[in-house]
Amino acid sequence: MLANQMQGGLGTPGALSHAYVQHPPLRCDIPDIRGLFYDDANKFLIAPTADRILYWKIAPSTPSGPPNSDPVNEGSVLSVRYSLDHKAIGIQRSRHEIEFRNRETGETCSRKCRADSETILGFFWTDCPTCDVILVKTSGLDLLAYEPQTHAFRLVESKKFNVSWYLYTHESRLILLASGMQCTIFTGYQFSAGGIVKIPKFEMTMSKSEANNKPVLAVDDVHIVTVYGRIYCLQLDRVSISLNLYRFYRDAVVQQCTLPTYSSRIAVSAVDNIIMVHQIDPKVVILYDVFLDSYAPVSAPLPLLVRGLPSNIRQASQAADSQSSAYGGTIYGEGWNFLIPDLICDGENGLLWKLHLDLEAIAASSSDAPSVLEFLQRRKSDPSMVKTLCLAIVRTIILERRPVATVAKAIDVLLDSYSRLIKMGVALPGVRRTHEQNQQSGGQPVEGSHVISQVPSTGTAVSPAVNPDEASGVVNRSLQSNSGVEHGIDRALLNTSSDSDEITNISGATGQGTSGHQTSDAANKRQQVVGEDSRPLSSGTSMQHGLHAGSVSISPIEMFQSVFALVEDEMMGDPAYLIAIIMEFLRSVSRSGLKAPHNLYVMMTMLLARSNRYAEIALFVSNKILEPSKELAVQLIELGLHHPPTRKLGMDMLRERGLHHDYVAALLQDGYYLEALRYARKYKVITVQPALFLEKAVAKNSAQSLAAVLSFFCEFTPSFKTTSDFGRYRHILREMEMV
Amino acid sequence: MGLSSAAAGDGAQLCVFDLRRGQQEGQELDKILFFHPADCPILLQLSVIGLCEGIVTFTRIFSPEEDCEVIESEKHSHVFYQAEPDIWMVLVVEKTKDDESTWRCGALQGILKEAHSLFAMFHGPIRTLLDRQPSAELARCHLRTFLTDYFSDFYVGKKLQFPTYRDSLKERGTIQMLTVSREAALEVQSLTTVLGSCLGNVTCQSLILFEDLLVSTTLPPDDTLNLYTYAVLRLTPRALFSNASSWSYLRKGTSVNAGPTSSSSNGTTAGERPLLREKLSKGKDGFIAADFSATEVRGAVPLTSILWFQQAEERMYLCIYQHKSLTILLLIPASSLINGEEGITHVKKQMLENASQKIVAVEQKLSRGWGGENAYHVSGYRYLLVDPDRRVSRASPPGKVTTLAKDSLLALNRLRQEVDLEKARYKRSDPCIDKDFEVCIRTKNNAWVVAKISRGRELYMALEKGGETLLYASTAVEKFSNRYCEGAFSTD
């Protein structure tokens, strides 16, 4: 079904959106709740009532049942955050007080600040080794350690500076503290399990408005976004209506580019490592995939779609407004709150939506198959869909007879992705098994795709110790010779976390993807030039991508089963093209150090024979492009019925593979019974029936031959004399001699 | 070129004649399509051809299916080859007292066969030429220039020197392949695909050679063999180098004489004298082409050869591209190229654009894996391996073969002659069945000379530092077979 869509749809427009939210949403419009809060560290959607806190754990998937609840003291609630081990709840009660409650004992304690000189802007729990809670105040940060026995907090350290507002995401472990007249001066810290990293102070750029009054940067205009384990920050410049993209390194913040914007308000989500920039005013989304440091949008701005609405409404009109009326809210309505990383909370209607990418539509929007495949191979959210799409794309470009070079590039993309997975030595049992199956000689490639698709997409986190790239977080020192300045600068990457397990536990599927990339980003950080001071950055490690790419990767066996085997019939008119494609596939397979399934060689041989290219079969057998196997040997022998030299190739292959029984049988079939006997004696082949040899000798009508064969078997197999064959053929021999 | 000046002094005669012509008394001359030496008196020519015709007709009485192959007389050998039905090529070689004139009939026939195959590739079958122009002027003219150019290779000094017993570890009419790793082979095939697509929708054929060895081909075996032979004779870097070498310079003056005087009228072009050494050179663009600017006035005649491929049943333009040791022969179907030279220029451009990178990469890869001219030397062995099915052979490098004693080589020559006869005998009895056999001979100089035929494949070997026993010889063969022939000759 999908394949049909692809055939028609690839490269043709018609996709109405590239991102969607799935109907129905999680409904959290419970009466009596006093607002909705989001705890991004635990992925809890929290709804406090007068004396309880209700929460939904919305990762890895949105729940369907009623919320959990915790009793709390009465009082106003400004924000709620559960501790990372879920043992305590922190509730900000006012601008001066935070209450912490032990969930087991119900004990509470509170932390207050000096009401006269400072206010609490917020707080968050951290997995940093030295402290557990960070309190953000207008006067700076308080790092607190929690002592569970006494349910008390100890001040570990206090960092003093003025803070206008702050921004923190647990995903990045990064806090940005804005200060200055325009709030454009930022101090940043990363509180990760690896320790505390202070980001150098930096300033975001703001255009001057005409009136020369200085605009102030608002917290709503700055977004921290984490993709591929890298941390970026998007800053909306309301004056020039443009979006500045910064990337964080350990020792620097580098502006990467300025993205076009079509709205005075934007929101940012990260779905499956794609940055979604929501243009609130025109109600469209622009997608960016920054993996290769390319900042061109993935596709044109398109509206966000609500999927799964009753079909009659969808058919009636596709307009956003009618969609809205269908679910009772407004797309990009006032109440929409964008939660990290990929959620939308409609506060007005009490709905929680999860954002999705429409990979099919994105794939269909570009005809550049290799790039589309690269894009898809980087996706984690829907592995089986990605796989199906990728296979369909490859099939389509073959059927459309795109230039061989293009198809070769597409195949390279898929096999590179697969071989990276294999090289990482990922402990995905399904994948490993497929790979081994692949290498078995003569093994039938059984249900390879089946095995792969069984691999669960979550919970297969790999301990970071296995990761050879673990060290990439380490500062690399390398001087770039082309730099115009006298010294190179070390620029290590700012990673989201040095403990990938932790992230995985917290954030499920998305976190998993992140952890996979956490150390890989160094590799992809190609030489970049810092805009202003043109000091080059160095990168050290090799290109590695995605520990967890396993589920989307496509093995050579699957390529055979889902591409070549399926297109073969339709390509019959032009076997030369398919042969060229298979050749490129083999080249790619060999380059990646993989093995192709034997059936592919059999298919290739058949295609060559069908085009009467027997000489090339011989060439490819001799230079091992067609890897020897029993299947291939049998195929060659069969084809050889019309072309004796090819039959010999098959026979030779049987002999070289040590398939003695088959070799003897084949010799016999061709009438070389004496040669067969000699061979049988040398390799002690006793499985071929003596009667077959005897029959050939009889057919020759030579008493001499028959006598020779008879006496051979009498010696070779001592029990032969007792068999009925012996008697029968001795009788025949006697009759022959009498004539 | 040199034939006329060489006179009859070289002791060899070569004639091509057509038995369907000149059957009326008085018109015998009409039979002769080519005679060397050209200055041989007509009566002598007629008597040679008359003898040959007589023998051919006489032997047909006994053996209507098989052609007469050779007549050995006291002073001469007449080697026969029926190139096309009723068109015969006969080589008459003079025997000398010493061993130097010990040759093998099959090897001499091989020369005639090769000459004819190449001729047919460039000019089409002789019969076709005769049919097209019954006066035979065209056929004679082509044969004269072509065979003159072809046999110029066999001159040593002023004498025609044909292969002798010293060449018994060589097999004319076979291809020598380069052994490549699987990885390199796949790269080469990828290049072949690109080459094939130079013309757009119609696939171009190609041959790729590294040094003098074939790497890949898309043509059927016979056509591959012919083109490969041509490439090794004239186009590979080594051949091009010898094209420009000094000895050819000596004959430069005579080349015009040898060329037919009628050339100005019907235009003897590059395509028509493809074996003329002096004119081929590599251009700045990497393509090898004939350079005529100096000697001849160019008209509207094609610069690029059109070749006739018998097995592929197609006429194709030949473009030759060379990058370092890599020679690429690109064949463009003539039927799909309407605008001639212009179209070829376009294809060449396409090829440079699409394939240059791959060509460089393949050349590098092959160079890295290349073991030099002694790459296929196996120490202790002097061998020749022939696979007639694939028309492929591999042999000890010539430099190593020359170290063999004369007695070993003579014995080997003799053995091969015997094997040739034996093979012919088996072929007559049942052409479909391969007969295995093996001969080991202890020579006068205590060397072992071995011939082994197994499932159609042939192995010839001379072992000089061998042991005393036959067991030693057969073990040596077994070892060689297992190590270098995937056990193809290890039957027992």
What is the H or E stretch that residue A27 is in? strand A26-27
Same domain, B333 and B396: no
What distance in Å separates the CA atoms of residue A260 and residue A234, rounded to the nearest whole number? 12
Subunit contact B186:A583, Cβ cutoff 8 A = yes
Distance from CA of B313 to the nearest CA of A (A): 13
Hey, which of A106-110, A424-428, A550-554, B186-190 has the most confident mean pLDDT?
B186-190
What tokens does B301 get? 């005649």
Q: Between B390, B487, B492, which is nearest A618 by CB?
A: B390
Hey, which of A417-426, A523-532, A680-689, B409-418 has the most confident mean pLDDT?
B409-418
Q: Domain for residue B177, yes or no?
A: no
pLDDT tens digits for range A139-152: 999 999 988 888 88
Same domain, B386 and B249: no
Distance from CA of A625 to the nearest CA of B (A): 6
Q: Provide φ and ψ at A36, rounded to 5°.
A: -120, 135
Tell me the CB-side half-sphere exposure of residue B465, using CA atoms within 13 A: 5
B218 and chain A in contact, CB less than 8 A: yes
Confidence check: pLDDT of A440 > 70: no
Give me the pLDDT at residue A392, please.
94
Same domain, B270 and B134: no
**Contact at 8 Å (CB) between B80 and B69?**
yes
Average pLDDT of chain A? 78
pLDDT < 50 stretches in chain B? 1-8, 246-271, 293-302
What tokens does B11 get? 């002791």
Q: Provide φ and ψ at A523, rounded to 5°.
A: -65, -40
Q: What is the mean pLDDT of residues A278-306?
A: 89
Residue A48 Cα distances to A87, A104, A106, A168, A349, angstroms: 18, 19, 16, 22, 16
Distance from CA of A528 to the nearest CA of B (A): 28
Subunit contact A655:B189, Cβ cutoff 8 A = no
DSSP H helices, B124-236, are 126-132, 137-151, 182-196, 221-230
Q: What is the mean pLDDT of residues A204-229?
A: 86
Same domain, B157 and B204: no
Subunit contact A679:B390, Cβ cutoff 8 A = no
Q: Domain for residue B211, yes or no?
A: yes
What tokens does A2 get? 């999908």
Of the candidates A220, A182, A173, which has an alpha carbon nearest to the alpha carbon of residue A204?
A: A182
The region of weakest confidence among A466-470, A585-589, B357-361 is A466-470
CATH, residue B459: 3.30.450
Same domain, B134 and B15: yes
Same domain, B316 and B444: no
Give me the pLDDT at residue A494, please.
58
A408 and chain B in contact, CB less than 8 A: yes
More confident residue, B327 or A250: B327
DSSP state of A353: E
Q: Domain for residue B119, yes or no?
A: yes
Confidence check: pLDDT of A431 > 90: no
Q: Domain for residue B125, yes or no?
A: yes
Subunit contact A615:B219, Cβ cutoff 8 A = yes
Maximal C-alpha separation, chain B: 69
Give me the pLDDT at residue A205, please.
86
Contacts of A628 (CB under 8 A, 6+ apart): A621, A653, A656, A657
What tokens does A95 get? 């601008």
Contacts of A285 (CB under 8 A, 6+ apart): A17, A18, A19, A276, A277, A278, A279, A301, A302, A303, A304
What tokens does B19 get? 């038995």
Confidence check: pLDDT of A723 > 90: no
Same domain, B342 and B221: yes
**Contact at 8 Å (CB) between B473 and B448?**
yes
- Domain end position, chosen among B369, B398, B432: B369
**Contact at 8 Å (CB) between B145 and B273?**
yes
Confidence check: pLDDT of A405 > 60: yes
Q: Domain for residue B492, yes or no?
A: no
Same domain, B117 and B261: no
Confidence check: pLDDT of A734 > 80: yes
Same domain, B150 and B194: no
- Please, which pLDDT band fits residue A457 given cuts at 50, 70 and 90? very low
Could you give the strand order of the β-sheet that contains A195-203, starting from the edge strand earlier in sequence?
A165-169, A174-179, A185-192, A195-203
Same domain, B46 and B151: yes
Number of A:B CB contacts under 8 A? 79
Q: How many domains does the structure of chain B reveal?
A: 3
Same domain, B297 and B440: no
Give me the pLDDT at residue B301, please.
43
Give me the pLDDT at residue A542, please.
30
**Contact at 8 Å (CB) between A614 and A608?**
yes
Contacts of A439 (CB under 8 A, 6+ apart): A595
- Please, which pLDDT band fits residue A696 given cuts at 50, 70 and 90? confident
Angle at B25 (CA atoms; ends B22, B30), nearest 5 degrees: 25
Q: What is the mean pLDDT of residues A19-37?
A: 84
Confidence check: pLDDT of A504 > 70: no
Residue A658 Cα distances to A274, A350, B104, B474, angstroms: 53, 72, 39, 22
Q: Domain for residue B191, yes or no?
A: yes
Q: Which of residues 139-158 of B touch A (CB under 8 A)?
A: none
- Domain end position, chosen among B342, B369, B396: B369
Give me the pLDDT at residue A584, please.
95
**Terminal-to-terminal C-alpha distance of chain B:** 53
**Contact at 8 Å (CB) between A472 and A480?**
no
What tokens does B193 get? 């695909």
Q: Domain for residue B491, yes or no?
A: no
Of the candidates A25, A26, A73, which has an alpha carbon nearest to the alpha carbon of residue A48?
A: A73
Confidence check: pLDDT of A460 > 70: no
- Please, which pLDDT band fits residue A536 given cuts at 50, 70 and 90? very low
Q: Between A627, A645, A656, which is nearest B390 by CB?
A: A645
Give me the pLDDT at residue B244, please.
58
What distance in Å separates the CA atoms of residue A265 and residue A276, rounded to the nearest whole number? 14
- Helices B182-196 and A575-591: crossing angle in degrees, nearest 10, is 140
List, in sequence order, every residue forming a beta bridge with A493; answer none if it has no partner: A249
Of the candidates A314, A317, A311, A302, which has an alpha carbon nearest to the alpha carbon of residue A357?
A: A302
Give me the pLDDT at residue B272, please.
66
What distance in Å separates the CA atoms of residue A261 and residue B2, rounded to the nearest whole number? 83
What distance in Å separates the CA atoms of residue A170 and residue A651, rounded to the nearest whole number? 66
- Please, which pLDDT band fits residue A274 given cuts at 50, 70 and 90? very high
Instruction: Residue A656: list chain B partners with CB under 8 A.
Output: 486-487
**Contact at 8 Å (CB) between A174 and A231?**
yes
Hey, which of A518-522, A552-556, A604-608, B157-161 has the most confident mean pLDDT?
A604-608
Domain span including residue B450: 382-484
Mutation target to probe the B interface, by most B beta carbons within 10 A, among A398, A406, A648 is A648
Give me the pLDDT at residue A607, please.
94
Placement of tokens 């005087």 in the chain: B261
Subunit contact A580:B193, Cβ cutoff 8 A = yes
Of the candidates A455, A453, A464, A522, which has an alpha carbon nearest to the alpha carbon of residue A493?
A: A522
Subunit contact B190:A675, Cβ cutoff 8 A = no
The region of weakest confidence among A22-26, A122-126, B308-312 is A22-26
Mutation target to probe the A interface, by most A beta carbons within 10 A, among B174, B178, B186, B430 is B186
pLDDT tens digits for range B137-191: 999 999 999 999 999 888 887 788 888 899 999 999 999 999 999 999 999 999 9
Give me the pLDDT at residue A496, please.
52
Q: What is the mean pLDDT of residues A18-25?
A: 85
Subunit contact B488:A678, Cβ cutoff 8 A = no
Q: Domain for residue B219, yes or no?
A: yes
Same domain, B258 and B356: yes
Confidence check: pLDDT of A124 > 50: yes
The interface pTM score, or ipTM, of the predicted complex is: 0.90
- Please, which pLDDT band fits residue A166 given cuts at 50, 70 and 90? very high
- Domain end position, chosen among B103, B136, B167: B167
